[in-house]
Chains A and B, each alone.
Chain A
């Protein structure tokens, strides 16, 4: 056989091992990280659109004083669902989608460490999202804001089931998030390509790694708070009832011990994407890789020590307020390091202004504005003046849209060609960017002075003539322009699927491993497991951009015995083991359906059914872990 014929035979052997079975069952049983990643991206994008429509409805109501498009009750429900949707069902899952799709191909392997857990985390995300939105279908949505302060959330003030859907739905979703975080950490620690020591990882990986560790420690306080909330409501317990020895502050503490790290959980991976995309378009490695990696990790750690800045107005002792104020200001240091590393990379590089790069530049501007208003609200006297006004709404949207949505859209322009094999339209992309960028600033910048003028957040209307009318009309107009930007993005994606120029393996001349394989990647990702010798294996032959002798064509093939991957050591990425990975399986779906039954029974207080849901889940877990062929696995 000639060399090419041997390679073709090798590729077809690998494809036979890694391919998902065609048909519905095959799709439901798939544990391919690329399928899971795509499903995450699509589902999270749908939630972005749903949350966006909720926001537009609110903006119609607020466009002028005294409007009556929405009732106060519906308005409360919409701002709660908008927050829950964007924060829990869009911002974090979209990053999981990128991480699921990209991690194995960024670090040079064929799968995630726990493929079936990976499928499980997607299914639970989907069903938890449906669970939370069931409250909309039955017409009783949670209405106490996304951070649901007690005692408003107690049975006395919120008798309907809306808040039970909130508490149980977020608990359910938490399983998905935790499972995903564990999966990311183990994948990163044990499955990097031979030679990819920690200091050679793409910086995106540092962001998701930090976020995953934050999830491990930050999610439990939320789970505890949600359990207490549900116990108070369902069984008449008294955790948040100050008349019986409880305290509403207990909820606030637990919620924000979770809540502030969560901000970093949904921005650090996005900042990591920025740190990976900017160098590609500047044709040079990131300036200060090590400092940015340290800054990422230290932001994640310091993020656990600042939660009380959400509670400045609750009457805590002055000493602890000062401490938390100082800690909050410290965060500016690592953020500043990353910020100047991006600027320096652009400064010293030769920038190519393609659409993804425009979104990165937009991100840098919005990050600066959102960062500065963050430092301002970190100062006690300033916060006391402006807490619960539109200034805070402006700040949090600059942070969350600026640091999450803008990088995410840029990353879609950057990585979708890898995923679909087709380029998006560059011309429409530029329109997309400018419409979104202008729309965003028109929508959110005026909120700063609306806040300073004293407009409180979470009011369904206001009397005309307070000097807020014109600004509110501008904000509403901006929101619709921003929505048109998202529409242009959808049009561009739909258009590219059919008409986009074929991308080829490396349309951007990027330097990292995912660009060494075809677009879209074959089921087995890499024909041979690459051996890595630098941070930019694809730039080693370029004129002095990177040094090293990575080997992408020769190496382990592992085409003999099912799903096999190489296990490497944590620090150096030295090969240690060959590990057999599970193939496609229906157990993750079965387990999710059992848990869905369990949670619907809990929310309707139907205990026998809840017990059967738990029992079925147990059966699934036993079937899952008992060695042997999985249902749905290829014969």
Chain B
């Protein structure tokens, strides 16, 4: 058996070589199962009750909000691209833009909540609506904290073209949060309009 020569091995790791990347991929998998279970509950109750939903949620805020959140994925990706080219300053700007978009999304969601005609305690649909969107909102909030942390590290000068694994890993989570919104939005807002 040929012997392992340590000289030829790189120190530190990127992408699928790094443990952290794998850890985040698995976290995203288990979080996806969490949202799948919530939506399973939504569709199961719907299949049992013909008058579900009692009213179809409005797109006035949720529609533009969807655009905001998807744009924030784009800004994050642009930031990641900047640091790959070694532009730490641009990374900081794009991260700040991502934070702003995410925070706006949450604020608008709060406005939407305040206009709802029902509360979580009104009926099972209300419980489901607020729990699903609330958990998504909580994930956006955690994503924002994560992005803020990455921004702080960027400002502390920790990242370069070669070393920016935390940016990639936080990006996985942020894109996941946006992708889940598409599933939530389709199920809660679009699906009742179609069927």
B11 on interface, CB distance cutoff 8 Å: yes
CA distance A221 to B38 in the complex (A): 8
CA distance A257 to B38 in the complex (A): 12
Residues on A with C-beta less than 8 A from B64 are none
B45 in complex: contacting residue of A178, A247, A579, CB < 8 Å: A247
CA distance A402 to B50 in the complex (A): 46
Count of A-B contacts with CB under 8 A? Answer: 160
Residues on B with C-beta less than 8 A from A622 are 149
Which of B76-84, B100-108, B119-127, B172-180 sits within the interface?
A: B119-127
Within 8 A of A (CB), among B135-155: 145, 149, 153
Residues on B with C-beta less than 8 A from A215 are 30
Residues on B with C-beta less than 8 A from A249 are 44, 48
CA distance A247 to B6 in the complex (A): 60
A271 on interface, CB distance cutoff 8 Å: no
- What residue of chain A has the Cβ atom nearest to residue B135's Cβ? A227
Mask of A550-581 contacts with B, CB within 8 angstroms, 1/0: 11001110100000001100000001111110
A577 contacts B120, C-beta separation under 8 Å: no
B61 on interface, CB distance cutoff 8 Å: no
Within 8 A of B (CB), among A235-250: 235-239, 241, 244-247, 249-250
30 contacting pairs across A/B (C-beta < 8 A): A114-B23, A182-B23, A194-B4, A215-B30, A216-B26, A217-B30, A219-B30, A220-B33, A220-B37, A223-B37, A224-B41, A235-B121, A245-B49, A247-B48, A250-B41, A254-B37, A254-B40, A254-B41, A531-B3, A549-B1, A555-B4, A566-B9, A576-B9, A576-B17, A577-B11, A578-B6, A579-B12, A579-B13, A618-B145, A625-B149
The count of residues in chain A whose C-beta lies closer than 8 Å to any C-beta of chain B is 66
Residues on A with C-beta less than 8 A from B29 are 216-217
A186 contacts B1, C-beta separation under 8 Å: no
Given A185-B22, A238-B124, A245-B123, verify A577-B131 contact (CB < 8 Å): no
Mask of B25-36 contacts with A, CB within 8 angstroms, 1/0: 011011101101
B189 on interface, CB distance cutoff 8 Å: no
A231 contacts B131, C-beta separation under 8 Å: yes
- Count class of interface residues, chain B: 35 or more
B3 in complex: contacting residue of A554, A567, A618, CB < 8 Å: A554
A247 contacts B44, C-beta separation under 8 Å: yes
Mask of A178-211 contacts with B, CB within 8 angstroms, 1/0: 1001110110011000110000000000000000
A216 contacts B127, C-beta separation under 8 Å: no
A253 on interface, CB distance cutoff 8 Å: yes
Residues on B with C-beta less than 8 A from A554 are 3
Residues on A with C-beta less than 8 A from B97 are none
Residues on B with C-beta less than 8 A from A361 are none
Given A217-B33, A246-B127, A577-B10, verify A529-B1 contact (CB < 8 Å): no
- What residue of chain A has the Cβ atom nearest to residue B47's Cβ? A247
Residues on A with C-beta less than 8 A from B166 are 625
Given A238-B121, A238-B123, A247-B48, verify A216-B4 contact (CB < 8 Å): no
B11 contacts A551, C-beta separation under 8 Å: no
Residues on A with C-beta less than 8 A from B36 are 220
